[in-house]
Structure 1
């Protein structure tokens, strides 16, 4: 990825639109980003990272703080980034979440974050994504890096990579885990641990199941088995033998069951045959009794049959009687109806006579009704004209009042306009110096910021100077003690060596007694002994020798500890000296000399200057605020003047329009007064007169209309009543004739069916249900009689040679045999059920044992893997840490290439192989080899400058390793934020040479720093300047 252009607006300290063209660097691959503190140097990184991933570059920056405080209400915050990757141009436009004033109404609304991604290929730009998540996903895909990897490899913010050196092993693991995405190995470890626990639980569950199956075994009362802590396999063998015994026993019991079943079936057959014969004897006796009963009912059945005969004949006559009764009823109803019609005709004639008289009287009053109608219409017309006249008068009065108000409004607006012109003139005089005061205020504010930093740094210089003096005094005392310890260690060593030499001489003297001429020496093997050892003057005892050795070892150990401590004390002193010198160099012109008096004097003068500038800044800020208020008020007044001029013009136009309308209405009023006169000008009174005339007319009209309706209606009703009466008389006569015919027909039918009179006929009548019931009774009697005779005949033939059996004795014998069979069947069932369950238990236990064995083998493998992967091994190294350690080794190899160059071959980073204390995880701790002392020590002991070199080396090594592992990742741009101020001149030159080597391969490198030497060494600078309206940025080339 190579940056081409970056455009920002209302972002951080940049209010106005800024466009940074990285392509203008040309052959200059390294450029310096310079500017005052807080001007917005790191914001350039933030904007680039925000454009790509929607987040700032540093861990202490968030999206909500991106909008510039200098931005006006209508200005949008956005970032546009154009970069080249693998021959394609990518352009991203991204806007953070921000508040905007509502277009309608008052208040603010929140605009959500937005993002757009374009790709240019062969001069054709194509929109690829418009949603924030889509853009983020697309960028991660084409870059091959996520947000954490990008900011660790391309952007190195202040202090971010120092964490990789200073943090403990666990936090270093978290950092490397995010970069190399090794969570998979941690998840694999957790998976193996969970699988191990799961398998262990499953094995326990299988054991429980086996115990449950053992409890289900039926050993039987005849089997003698004792199971005390027996193995499952032995229990299965015993169960197999038990099932063989059960099979034999079942066969014996089944043979006995078959014999009992055969004898029971024979007794059952005998009993059923006897019971059937007994039932036939019982049935024969019952039928004889029923036959006797039917013979006793024969006379009553004959009488019932005769009654049924006359009832059927009466039923034939009943239809003719009903026809006669129906005609009689019709005749009576016709006579009643005829009487009602005659009475209705009489009443209608009387009512019509009265309405005919009233109709004639009202018909003669037609002229009076027309006169009343005309009077009503005249009153209505007069009322309408009066309403129109009064409306004109009202409009005229209202228009006169409106003219008066318009004139007063114009006068008031002209007076207000005159006052505003006077006030505007005064405010213009006040606001002339507004820009001058504002510029002076920002200059003083910058001085206050500079002096505040200067006072803070001088206080720190004074504090660090005191620390340095204390460390120098401590160092002198320490070196005095160290030299004394060195002397004591040398003396103890020489005492021990001298005593050891004495013992050796004494030992040689002792051996010389064993030497013989011609015999080989036991030490050198020579047969000649020209100079045997002589007796020493004094010999040290073995106890004293061991005491001297212990004293020499203790002194050597103490001396070694003080020697290590001396290196650390010297290193800390050197670090403190470098820190103090760095602070002094920045304010050398202010302080003058490096002593306490000069530092305190410079601090006092700086504090006095700061207080003076702060007071001046506050005064200027107050003046600027007052002037700013005046400017705003002046703008409001000018706007108000425009509004007043517009209102005066509008008011004058309204007055002219109203005057014309007043003239028109006055003319209409005068015309009405000339042409019309009114009985009264009181609208209410005239309304009452009109309504009275209307009511009189409508009342007479309503009377006439009602009489007309009643006259027509009664006339028609009278005609209808006369016609109905005539038709009724005819219908009565016809009904009487029909009744006589039907009565004669009924009498003839009685004679025909042999009824002597009407009374005998009526006594014979029965309902249809009674006839059917009696007929059914007769039929049932006949049918039952025939059935009994037929069944008795059949039974008499069958039982002619038979005797009645003894059922109770047969049934008792059969029941006894059945009980024996049931008991035997129960024995067989229980044996078969026990055998079936034992077979099922046998098969289940074999399956459970087999599966338990497979699980146990799997558990042993998984448990061992889980134990190794979680770091429960002699190295205390988990699987994930093992992988991370491999990545860290690669990073260290690449980092040492640059660290070796920047430290003049002094330091070399190594990964510690020491085991962590108290059971903690190991494998990711860092140490540094100091080739000046040949000793290893923790990277935390490095000074500020040394720590920066190590951090920078690790950062560059990290970028190389990640790029080599992430296939297709192309890193052509790198940014470094601060840290060079902790380096001396030689180290700085070494660091610059190291960074220049990164230019190989057309890589672009941007550096943020305040170090003067970098400004001289690097010709291309991205210059950032501050001002009252925010910061601005541009490239400057020396």
Structure 2
């Protein structure tokens, strides 16, 4: 990838538009980006990263697009970053604009405009637009570069501070950095997946073993006394559990079958005894039943002889009832006919009582003729009745017209009053809508002013807090400086006193006959003695340690004070220098005004609805007034038609109506006709029933004489109802059955022989049978229990064996997965170096990085240093990500943390360049033609700086350009092509300088 041009507008410290031509900078191969602290050197690199990825490097981003905007920019300028670059043979231009809070085009206040992105490609003749989507642009650039934003910031912007920390970091910190760059999360996911599979497999094995142990306990309960040996004392998951449980189950089954054989033998003996006693009991019970039947039959014969008279009376009563049954149909007919005659006579009496007196003695035919005469008169009055009903309806219709006329008059009066007030009401509603609309505009304007006012108020409050914290920090710094000075003086004093008496310290190490470390003589005639106030090495080192801690406290206090002062300056600038009380009052006043405007604006919708409802009501009332006028005209014509119809009806009724109304006369004739018809029908029915009653009496007398009864009353008394007849018949049938049974029993020879024998000993034989049955039941229960125990043990044994067969593959899988999981996690004994899978992959990457870095480090250090990867274990930790530096002068490898400041710089630079090469290969071999190296050159001496510059010069081979970001003055003499960042009150600016070599 090669950068061509970068254009900035209102970005970071750059208020005005800036145009950086990387083509001119890259022509020399090596260029310097310098400027004073805070001018914006890093912001140039931030702009490159933002153009490519839509975000600045991780340490400087805060997730707010509005923070990228320059505070020096004009209010009408939008923040824009435009980068032109070539990657994978394609020349592209990407333009990004973060969210922008701009002034509104109409009215006052501001509004936030969304972020915008554009991607174009140059095809050799013109620029063609590719996309305006943030997502599509990000995906297109990411696929071409083949690197994430973190990888790009590590391999193109080369922050030396990160790699210096990388050199001194432990294996875990190195693993985190390398894991982000090389995306080895999938290997960590494999470790986690294997660990999860191991836990699942172990849980499955334990669950299977737990089920097997549960089956074993069930078999132990089922075996009962047959379980002579205890269960195996093994926990779920322990090896050998399955074999032990199956062996124990086989022993339990054998013992249970032995007990079953004994129980079956005992049951056979008990069954034989039970059969013998039961056979003897059956014979005894049969004799007892025969003796009881004979005694019962003799007693029943005696009872029948005593009730023989009652039986003869019942037979005679049944014979009389059978003769009376011939008279029963005629008797029933006579009773029903008599009931009909009584009903008809009563109905005739009631009908005649309702008639006028002149019809009291009239016969049925005379009553019928009078009813027909009344019906004729009623037909003649029907037309007059209809005319009278119509006249009544005409009166009701006139009343309804009067009511409608009054209602329309009231409605017209109300509509007139409402329409008279309409102009004033409409103007008031329109004024209310306009007032709410103005309040809505005012509320939006005030809402836009609230956020800046709140920000200034918060800044003023932070300014007050930071002022107090700064004063406290200044006091703490003064104390820390005094303590550091005192500790320094104390350490120098003790060091000087130790040097004054150092001879005594050397003399203490002398031994007779051994040469002196100073003069080499084996004789020590007068060694120096420790005097009072002697300072030894431990005291000096303790004083130095106190001095070092005091210096660290002073440095921390200075850093804290510097950070507080920067924060205080930023808060003061943001608060615009106004007092806190004034800003608080301004914000509260704005808040109150905004609340009032918002409350009034909330009435806009109801006001509009009220105006709409009023206008609709106006139209509705106008329509109702028009409809009332039309109805009034229609009612006038209808009144005339009703009057003419009423006059004609009056003439018609005058001809037929006498005293009273026609309707009353018609109702009277209709009632008389109905009464006459009912009376005529009742008279005919009474005469008919009297004739049929006389005929029924004659037939009843004849049938009673034929049946042998003197009178019909005697025949009626001899009859029995159904219930009495059935009762009497059952008594006669029961007597006959009982008599037949008694004769049959008394004639049986077996019962005669049984009655002649002594009483049967039933109680003794039953007791013997119960004793034999109890013994059989006990041995049968024992046998059944033994059989059930054997069946249950067989069933549970089959289930246990099936569980063992199912658990076999699970245990094999668990052994295999557990071996792989511990091997990948570095906890297996087979993993001698305790190296995790992800660490193993990262170790391979680190080995490539160390090899690539050593090629440049050897040249920078004049062949002295080489970086090597080590996978040795450190202490009790795991291995894989060790990094050592080999010193060719001593031939020994030492930890990278022991390098000096300058050595750490060029070692970290070599490591960064090596990592860039490896990540580039990992990204698919994308060539990086433009690199930036950020700071760190001030720690190098002149000779080392020459070596480093030679290495950087070698990077320019094959048209590669390198940009050095530094403010070291010596680099300005060595690097002639420079991009200078100049800061001023109106913002920073860039300028290109090229000096002859």
Determine the structure 2 residue equivalent to 1:817.
Answer: 772
CA contact (8 A) 1:189 1:879 kept: no
Report the equivalent of 2:934.
Answer: 977
Q: 1:972 to 1:616 in 2, by over 3 A?
A: closer
Residues 1:215 and 1:866: Cα distance change in structure 2 (over 3 Å): farther
- Could you tell me how far apart the structure 1 residues matched to 2:744 and 2:123 are? 115
Supply the distance in 2 between the matched residues of 1:820 and 1:763 (Cα, whole angstroms). 71
Shift of 1:894: 1.7
The answer to whether the 8 A contact 2:66-2:99 is kept is no
Q: Which residues in structure 2 correspond to 1:761-910 (within 5 Å)?
A: 770=723, 773-774=726-727, 777=730, 781=734, 784=737, 788=741, 792=745, 796=748, 806-825=761-780, 858=815, 862=819, 865=822, 869-870=826-827, 877-879=834-836, 881=839, 883-910=841-868
Separation (CA, whole Å) in 2 of partners of 1:2 and 1:338: 133
Match of 2:162 among 138, 160, 163: 160
Give TM-score, length-normalised by structure 1. Answer: 0.54
- 8 Å CA contact 2:100, 2:112 repeated in 1: yes
1:734 aligns with: 684
Question: Helix, strand or coil: the match of 2:64?
Answer: helix
* CA 731–835 in structure 1, closer or farther in 2 if over 3 Å, else same: closer
Distance 1:145 1:482, change over 3 A: farther
For residue 911 of structure 2, the aligned residue among 948, 951, 954 is 954
Alpha-carbon distance in 2 for matches of 1:125, 1:986: 51
Any unmatched runs of 5+ in structure 1?
407-455, 503-537, 549-557, 562-567, 573-606, 608-613, 623-628, 630-689
Secondary structure of 1:159's aligned partner: helix
Secondary structure at the residue paired with 2:768?
helix
Flag the 1:834–1:777 CA change in 2: closer, same or farther, 3 A.
closer
CA–CA separation in structure 1 for the residues paired with 2:32 and 2:894: 34
Q: 1:912, CA displacement in angstroms?
A: 6.6
Q: 1:217 to 1:979 in 2, by over 3 A?
A: same
Change (3 A) 1:219 1:1013: same
**2:693 matched residue in structure 1:** 743
Measure the CA separation in 2 of the matches of 1:924 and 1:749.
Answer: 137
Q: Deviations over 1:535-588 (max 9, x none)?
A: xxx9x99xx9xxx9xxxxxxxxx99x9xxxxxx99xx9xxxxxxxxxxxxxxxx
Which sits farther off after the overlay, 119-128 or 1012-1021?
119-128
**Closer, same or farther in 2 for the Cα pair 1:259/1:150, shift >3 Å?**
farther
Give the TM-score normalised by the residue count of structure 2.
Answer: 0.56
Q: Which residue is equivalent to 2:270? A: 260
Name the structure 1 match of 2:331.
317
| Residues 131, 137 of structure 2: 8 Å contact kept | no
The worse-fitting range, judged by mean Cα deviation, of 809-818 and 65-74 is 65-74
CA distance in 1 between counterparts of 2:711 and 2:832 reads: 138
Question: What is the rounded CA distance, in whole Å, between the counterparts of 1:1005 and 1:381 in structure 2?
Answer: 100
CA distance in 2, matches of 1:20, 1:784: 137
Pair 19,262 (structure 1): closer, same or farther in 2 beyond 3 Å: farther
8 Å contact kept, 2:852–2:917: yes
Distance 2:146 2:740 in 1: 108
Determine the C-alpha separation between the residues in 2 that align with 1:384 and 1:167: 97
2 CA distance for matches of 1:386 and 1:203?
92
Q: 1:175 maps to which residue? A: 177
Residue 869 of structure 1: how far off its partner (Å): 1.8
| 1:682 alignment partner in structure 2 | none
Alignment partners' CA distance in 2, 1:251 and 1:101: 106
Alpha-carbon separation, structure 1, partners of 2:231 and 2:980: 94
Structure 2 equivalent of residue 674 of structure 1: none
Shift of 1:896: 1.7
Q: Distance in 2 between matches of 1:383 and 1:60?
A: 78
Q: CA deviation at 1:942?
A: 3.7
- Pick from 670, 694, 707: which aligns with 1:720? 670
Checking the alignment, whether the CA contact within 8 Å between 1:30 and 1:1005 is kept in structure 2 is yes
Q: Is the 8 A contact 2:2 2:929 kept in 1?
A: yes
**1:338, 1:100 → 2: CA distance?**
112
Is 2:40–2:981's contact at 8 Å kept on the other side of the alignment?
Answer: yes
Tell me the equivalent position of 2:192. Answer: 187
1:663-742 alignment, distance < 5 Å: 711=661, 713-742=663-692
Give the aligned partner of residue 627 of structure 2.
Answer: none
Change (3 A) 1:27 1:291: farther
Go from structure 1 to structure 2 and tell me whether the alpha carbon gap of 1:861 and 1:332 turns closer, same or farther (over 3 Å shift): closer
Q: Any conservation in 2 of the 1:34–1:1023 contact (CA below 8 Å)? A: yes
CA contact (8 A) 1:892 1:954 kept: yes
For 1:814-835, what per-residue CA distance to the aligned partner results, in whole angstroms no more than 9, with x for missing partners? 3333344344445656766777
Deviation at 1:172, TM superposition (A): 2.9
**Residues 35 and 982 of structure 2 are in contact (CA less than 8 Å); yes or no, is this contact kept in structure 1?**
yes
* Structure 2 CA distance for partners of 1:617 and 1:91, relative to 1, 3 Å: closer
8 Å CA contact 2:205, 2:814 repeated in 1: no
Give distance in 2, aligned partners of 1:715 and 1:238.
Answer: 118
C-alpha contact (below 8 Å) 2:905/2:939 kept by paired residues: yes
Q: Could you tell me how far 1:261 is from its partner in structure 2?
A: 2.4
> Is residue 61 of structure 1 aligned with residue 61 of structure 2?
yes
Given that 1:876 and 1:922 are in contact with CA atoms closer than 8 Å, whether structure 2 keeps it comes out as: yes
- Secondary structure in 2 aligned to 1:908? strand
Question: Paired residue for 1:332?
Answer: 346
Within a 5 Å distance, the mapping from 1:931-970 to structure 2 comes to 931=888, 938-964=895-921
Counterpart position of 1:632? none
- Aligned-pair distance for 1:342? 6.3
Distance in 1 between residues matched to 2:702 and 2:882, nearest whole Å: 140
State the SS of the aligned residue for 1:57: coil
Return the offset for 1:164: 0.8
1:192·1:862 contact (CA, 8 Å) conserved in 2?
no
Distance 1:73 1:334 in 2: 119
1:298 and 2:251 correspond: no
Contact 2:102 2:111 in 1 (8 A): yes
Gapped runs of 5+ residues in structure 2?
235-239, 358-370, 432-473, 528-535, 539-543, 549-564, 566-570, 580-585, 587-631
Cα distance in structure 1, aligned partners of 2:122 and 2:53? 20
Cα–Cα, structure 1 residues 728 and 76, in superposed 2: closer, same or farther, change >3 Å? farther
Give the CA deviation at 1:63: 0.8
Deviations along 1:324-369, one digit per CA (max 9) or x if unpaired, are: 42454355346535655769x99xx9xxx9xx9xx99xx9xx99x9
Shift of 1:723: 3.0
Alpha-carbon displacement from aligned partner over 1:794-848 (angstroms, at most 9, x marks no partner): x937657667754334333333333443444456567667777888999999999
**What per-residue deviation string (whole Å, max 9, x for no partner) do you get for residues 696-731 of structure 1?**
x9xx99xx9999999565354334334323323323
Match of 1:676 in 2: none
SS at match of 1:161: helix
Match of 2:951 among 994, 1003, 1006: 994
Counterparts of 1:786 and 1:1013 in 2: how far apart (Å)? 152
Inter-partner Cα distance in structure 2 for 1:48 and 1:961 = 22
Partners of 1:33 and 1:1023 within 8 A in 2: yes
RMSD: 7.7
SS of 2:162's partner is coil
Offset of residue 939 of structure 1: 3.3
Distance in 2 (CA, whole Å) between partners of 1:13 and 1:52 is: 20
Residues 1:1000 and 1:740: Cα distance change in structure 2 (over 3 Å): farther
Residue aligned with 2:57, SS: coil
Contact 1:341 1:724 in 2 (8 A): no
Shift of 1:272: 3.9
Q: For the structure 1 residues 816 and 780, does the alpha-carbon distance in structure 2 shift closer, same or farther, using more than 3 Å as the test?
A: same
In the alignment, the residues of structure 2 paired with residue 885 and residue 483 of structure 1 have an alpha-carbon distance, to the nearest angstrom, of: 53
CA–CA separation in structure 2 for the residues paired with 1:323 and 1:1034: 142
Give deviations 1:763-790, integer Å, cap 9, x for gaps: 567766x367547736863885598479
Aligned-pair distance for 1:139?
A: 7.8
